[in-house]
Amino acid sequence: MSFTVVEIWVDADACPVVDEVVKLASDQTVHLVHNHHHQINSEKDNVELHVCGDRQDQADHMIYNLSEPGDIVVTDDLGLAALVLSGGRRVVRFRGDRPTNGDIDVTLELRHAAARARRAGKLSGGPPQFTEEDREKFRETLKAVL
């Protein structure tokens, strides 16, 4: 499948790789979607800021409704990833992995099982600290997708 005009949609609340997306995607339009509690600025010509309210999942709905098949969505939100994958978008997560329609259901099931284990006191803690290695893997993955 070949894609012509590609736009990049970033779920920008708490996104550690906004700068990397903007630097690598100089030929694409980058949409930074965030709620009004986060201050994000960019003076780059290819960056469009989209501020949404703070209702739960409002940024997710904005990204889904405004992006198009073939676009790239940068998010760590697995629910949003599943939604946009089903609509023909491509996903890159903050640590550089790329969920697909073939594996997103299993990933969501694992997330649900981990949440159940945390509630039962069998598992504690969150994801590991975001590292420079994660940042580099993200850069490499985004370059390959572009």
Place of tokens 């709905």: 61
CB 146 within 8 A of CB 6: yes
- Full 3-state SS string of 91-137: EECCCCCCCCCCCHHHHHHHHHHHHHHHHCCCCCCCCCCCCHHHHHH
pLDDT by 10s per residue, the chain, length 146? 554 568 999 998 889 999 999 999 888 889 899 875 556 666 778 898 888 887 878 899 999 999 999 999 999 999 999 999 999 999 999 999 999 999 998 988 988 888 888 888 887 777 889 999 999 999 999 999 98
Cα–Cα distance, 143 to 129 (Å, whole number): 23
| Global pTM value | 0.88
Q: pLDDT value at position 114?
A: 85
